[in-house]
Chain A
Amino acid sequence: MTHVAAAPAGRRDPYALGHGEGAAAGHGAGGPASKRIIVGYGFWIFLLSDIVMFSALFATYAVLVDRTAGGPSGKDLFDLGSAAAETGFLLASSFICGLASLAAAVRSKRWFYIAMAATCILGLGFLALEIDEFAKFIIEGNGPTRSAFLSAFFTLVGCHGLHVSGGILWLLTMIAQVFAKGFRADIMRRFLCFALFWHALDIIWVGLFTIVYLMGVYV
């Protein structure tokens, strides 16, 4: 422990590689990692497994994309203007969620609430556009039962939309918890997980707008 404590800020060579002294975390010598790191790492593993689940939905979609059963294809259905607006809403919301983590890091409640409210509004804007798109398809008779292509489309995009809906409920819970309990260590750990979740949703959306919308219309 003395060796680690002597290292400047613990960042230059945190594992003390090449010093012959086993100070690496995870090997017992450096002591257990703090709860915040263990929680963050565990949630990171969950997010990666969630992304693996999405990869299965992406693979299903890619296999079924041409099976339109005589119905409309992506080229006939997709409105790229709406997809671009959804992309903008989600990217802006991810950015402002980052500002909320900075506000939480410096314990500024006011900026935390402002940033979280903006994140929420942009997320709701994204959801509104997506629900509008789904409703339009279903009213025109192009619901998930129309063809294998549309089943795969509604499953993939709908699953992402469900994640965003869940994320918004979580976001509101975080605002309420910070309001009621302040920036306590356990609340900060939950917020760390929420921020990771929200950023990961935007990463999945990058794959979605590229593979579903852009390639659906142009390829």
Chain B
Amino acid sequence: MSDAQTHDPSLELDTAPGDEHLDGSGVAEGVIAYLIGLGLATLLTIASFLLPVVNLVWPPSIPVALTVLAIAQMGVHLVFFLHITTGPDNTNNVMALAFGVLIVLLVIGGSLWIMSNMNHHMAPMAGTMEMSH
């Protein structure tokens, strides 16, 4: 395996996360991709900040709507800024990301579930609210 071969990007089997792919198309295509990402992220941010104000959705559904918008924006960042794709050269990056997401969901979901369950069972006891402060 000569160095010349390993460093020729056209022969790489994998892609590093965040790597630029300027396959002869020049900078313009790269700038356009970042601009699309910026536009989508801006739209989603504005939607997040306006959603609770404009009285457009049923109020109890606002937390869910905000969560969906946030996850969508994280996806936009991953695709347009970190260049995570579904291509076969990105398999390792996507698998690592999937494992990270699994752990994040377990930590956050598990903590909330267990703590709300404990709060539920502690509620009838007088004085616990004071103690928990």
Q: Which residues of A contact B (CB under 8 A)?
A: 1, 4-5, 9-11, 13-15, 17, 23-26, 30-34, 36-37, 39-41, 43-45, 48-49, 51-52, 55-56, 58-60, 62-63, 67, 69-70, 80, 84, 87-88, 91-92, 94-95, 98-99, 101-102, 105-106, 147-148, 185, 192, 195-196, 199-200, 202-203, 206-207, 209-211, 214-215, 217-219
B31 within 8 A of A: yes
In the complex, chain A residues whose CB is within 8 Å of the CB of B34: 95, 98-99, 102
B20, closest chain A residue (CB): A105
Q: How many residues of B contact A (CB 8 A)?
A: 60
- B20-A102 in contact (CB<8A): yes
**B3 CB to closest chain A CB, in angstroms?**
9
Main secondary structure of the interface of B (DSSP, over half): helix
B17, closest chain A residue (CB): A44
Question: Assuming A31-B1, A52-B107, A69-B133, is B13 touching A36 (CB within 8 A)?
Answer: no
**B133 CB to closest chain A CB, in angstroms?**
4
CA A37 to CA B52, docked complex, whole Å: 43
- B88-A55 in contact (CB<8A): no
Main secondary structure of the interface of A (DSSP, over half): helix
CA A205 to CA B52, docked complex, whole Å: 19
B86 within 8 A of A: no
- A106-B27 in contact (CB<8A): yes
- Extra pairs beyond A11-B87, A196-B18 (4, CB < 8 Å): A10-B12, A15-B13, A84-B45, A203-B78
